[in-house]
Structure 1
C-alpha cells in the first residue's frame, strides 16, 4: 500500500536559505542530519521520520536530488521560491525510494554520533567498523544526493560542503571489519533471511564503491573473488559479535571514591548532557555522573566520578566537570581516566555548617561544548527506549518472505552484532 503524500512548507528566509519544513526540531541528539549537494537534510529520530526538512543554500545543486527525495511538486515549489514566485502554504511531498535510503543513511550517521552506549543501562555499543562499512555502502547507494566532488568519486580529503559524501574514506578507515563481514555473510544460512540479503547487498555496494574509487588491498580482492565465485560456506559463529574486534580491559568499578577519609557532607548525581562531549568518552546513563562533598579538617573537598565509555582513551583527553554550588559561579574541574571512571577533585567554598549544598554538575569537553541547555532528560529516556526496541528487533531473525521491514526500521548490521553478542551488559 503506497504511502500518501505529506504536505511541507517551502519558504525563503532573510539569509536567502530556502527551507523545506516537514516538522518541528528537537534537541540535537533527536535529529538525524545529512550534508548533501547544496543543502542539509534533517529527520526526527523519534517517531515516523517522514520527508526530511531541507535547508537549501544552493538551489541549482539541490535540484539534482530534490525531485527524487521530495517529489516533483516540491522541486517545482523550491524553484519558484528561488525566482521570487509565490508558493502556497502546503506543498505535497511524495515518498520515494531515495528518500527512504537517505533517511536510513541519516539515521546511520546519527547512530555513529549519538548511540547511548551504557554498561550501567545495559545498552551495548555498536562496533564502529561494522557501522562504518554499512555507511559506506549506503553512501554509495545514495550518490544522487551528492555532487561527486568527494567520497568515492574524488579526493578523499576534500568533501567541500558535503562531509557525508565519504564512501571511499569510510572503506579505508574501517577495512579491518571487511574480512569478518565476509565470514559472517559466507556463514549465513542461505538467502532466506533479511540479514543474509543485507550482508550481501552491503558487500556488493562496498565492492562497487571501492572499484569506482580505485581502492585496492587484499581484503577487497578477496571480496571481489568471493562475490564472483562463492566458495564453500564458512562455519557459522554462534555469536556474530565475536567476529569483530572488541574493546578490552573494561571492568565496571563505579562507586569507588577518589580519596578515603574525611567526613561525608553530601553526595548526589549530576546531569549527563550528551551534547557537551564527543561520542566514545562517557557512559550514556543518567546515573553516570556523581559527586561527593567531604570535610577534610577545615577544608571542604568536592569529588567527581564519571563512568567512562568502554572506548574512552586512557590519556590525552581534557575532559572536565562543570560545577555550580548554591547558585555561585561555575567552576571547571579537570578529569583524569582511572580504570573505568573519569575522576577529579577540587576545593569547595561552603558556608560554615553547610550540610546540604545545592549542586549543579555536568561533564563536558572544553572547545567542543556548546554550553548548558534546557533539561532534556525526557528526550534522552525516549532515545534509550528507541534503541532498546531496535536491539530487541535486531535479536530476532527475520524471514525474507515475511512482510518486509521499511528502510529505517530494518536493523543495521552493527545493531544485529550488538544484539546477539554474548558480552555481559
Structure 2
C-alpha cells in the first residue's frame, strides 16, 4: 500500500541554515530522537506518529547525498531553491521513503539507549544493552547513505558498536537458529545478523564471535529447541531490589521526603527511572543535623568508578553536594546539614541526584512527558510480547519492535 504524502515546511534562516519541518515538534530533549548526519541534524518527536524527521541543515552540499532519499525530489528541489535565493519559505508534499523509515527506527534506537525508563519500582524492564547495540550497528549500516567520511557524525559508529557489543552475537545466533523461520522475530534476527556480518566485513573486524557468525550464516539453518530470549541474556550480578526501611543511623527524625529524579542529570544505567527513586531523611543527633539520601539504583549501575552525588538545598540557599556510593540496589550517602533548630520541621529541603561533569543543570519538571514516555514503552512492550500478532507492532513513528524489546517483554524478573 502506497504511503500518503506528508506536507513539509522548508525555510531558510538568516544565518543560512535550512530547516525542514515535518509534523509536530518535541517538547523537550527527553521526548526527541536525534541523529547527527552528513551536513545536518535530524530529529523526530518520540511521542508523535511521524516517520519524517525535522532537519536542521548547515551544509546543503553534504546533505544532498541523502536529502532526496529521505524526503523525495520535491523537497530536495525546494531546499535548492532556498539556497539559490529563489524562495525562503515554501511548503511542499514529501513522499516518505524506505530510508526515512530506517532512519526513524535508528533515531528511536538511540533515544531508547539514552532515555528508556527502566524501573523496578514502575515495573518497566530494562533493554539488554548488547542486543540493542548490535541492532543499532545493523541499522547504522543500513542507513550509511546518511553519513559521509568527514568524521563529525558521532552516530556513524558501526565498528565501535560491533566491538562494544559483540558479546550478544552468540546468544543472538542461538535465538535465530531456534526460532521458526516464518516468524517476525526470525526475520528480524536474520536481518540484524546479516547486516552486522556485512558491516564487520567492510570494517575489517575479526574475532571468534564474528567468525562464528559468518559460519552460522553460510551453512544450512537447522531449527533447534525453542529458547527463552530473556534467559539468553540474563545477567547475574549483585543487584537485588531490597525491601524494608532505609538504613538507620540513630538520632531523632526531624523531616523526611522525596527528592527530584531528573533523567537529564546522569547517564543511562545509573538510577531507577521512577519518580519515587530519590528519598531523604533529616535527623537530629544532639546539636548536629544530618541529611541521609537514598536513591534506588538501576540494575546496571556501576559499583565502582564514576559516583553520583546528591545536590541538597535548604530554603533556596546555595546547594551543597553529598557523595553517593552504591550499596546493593541503592546509592546512599550522608552529610551534616545546616539547619537551625528553630526551623527544623519547617525548612524547605530540595534534593536532586546528578553525575558531576555530565549534569547539564536542572531542567523543567517534565512530569507529563515522563508519564507519556512510560505509557509509550508499556505499549511497545505489550506489542513486543506478541510480535507475530497482526497489527501488534507499535505505530509510534517507528516500525518495531526491537529484538531488545522482545527479550525484555519475556523477562520473568520481578517487575
TM-score (normalised: structure 1)? 0.92
Distance in 2 between residues matched to 1:192 and 1:290, nearest whole Å = 49
Contact 2:263 2:273 in 1 (8 A): yes
Distance in 1 between residues matched to 2:266 and 2:245, nearest whole Å = 23
Superposed displacement of residue 288, structure 1: 0.3
Q: 1:313 aligns with which of 292, 302, 305?
A: 302
Which stretches of structure 1, 4 residues or longer, exceed 6 Å deviation after superposition? Answer: none
**Structure 1 residues 208-357: aligned runs within 5 Å:** 208-237=198-227, 239-253=228-242, 256-353=245-342, 354-357=344-347
Contact 1:266 1:357 in 2 (8 A): no
Superposed displacement of residue 38, structure 1: 0.8
Residues 376-418 of structure 1, C-alpha deviations (whole Å, 9 max, x = no match): 111111111111111111111415xx46946814110011011
Aligned residues: 411
Contact 2:51 2:398 in 1 (8 A): no
Which residue of the partner structure matches residue 50 of structure 1?
Answer: 51
Distance in 2 between residues matched to 1:323 and 1:355, nearest whole Å = 16
Contact 2:25 2:44 in 1 (8 A): no
Superposed displacement of residue 322, structure 1: 1.1
Q: 2:382 aligns with which of 364, 383, 392?
A: 392
Superposed displacement of residue 210, structure 1: 1.4
Distance in 2 between residues matched to 1:241 and 1:403, nearest whole Å = 23
For structure 1, list consecutive stretches of 5 or more residues without a partner in the other structure: 150-158
Give the CA RMSD over aligned residues: 1.8
Which residue of the partner structure matches residue 91 of structure 1?
Answer: 92
Distance in 1 between residues matched to 2:128 and 2:50, nearest whole Å = 25
Contact 2:42 2:56 in 1 (8 A): yes
Distance in 2 between residues matched to 1:325 and 1:213, nearest whole Å = 54
Residues 26-51 of structure 1, C-alpha deviations (whole Å, 9 max, x = no match): 21111111111111100011121331
Distance in 2 between residues matched to 1:255 and 1:375, nearest whole Å = 29
> Given the alignment of the two structures, is residue 173 of structure 1 paired with residue 174 of structure 2, yes or no?
no
**Structure 1 residues 357-372: aligned runs within 5 Å:** 357-372=347-362
Contact 1:40 1:56 in 2 (8 A): yes
For structure 2, list consecutive stretches of 5 or more residues without a partner in the other structure: none
Distance in 2 between residues matched to 1:404 and 1:372, nearest whole Å = 37
Distance in 1 between residues matched to 2:283 and 2:73, nearest whole Å = 66
Structure 1 SS opposite 2:383: helix
Contact 1:140 1:205 in 2 (8 A): yes
Change beyond 3 A, Cα 1:200–1:123 = same
Distance in 1 between residues matched to 2:243 and 2:356, nearest whole Å = 24
Superposed displacement of residue 11, structure 1: 1.9
Superposed displacement of residue 75, structure 1: 1.0
Which residue of the partner structure matches residue 73 of structure 2?
Answer: 72
Contact 1:392 1:419 in 2 (8 A): yes
> Given the alignment of the two structures, is residue 13 of structure 1 paired with residue 4 of structure 2, yes or no?
no
TM-score (normalised: structure 2)? 0.94
Change beyond 3 A, Cα 1:408–1:50 = closer
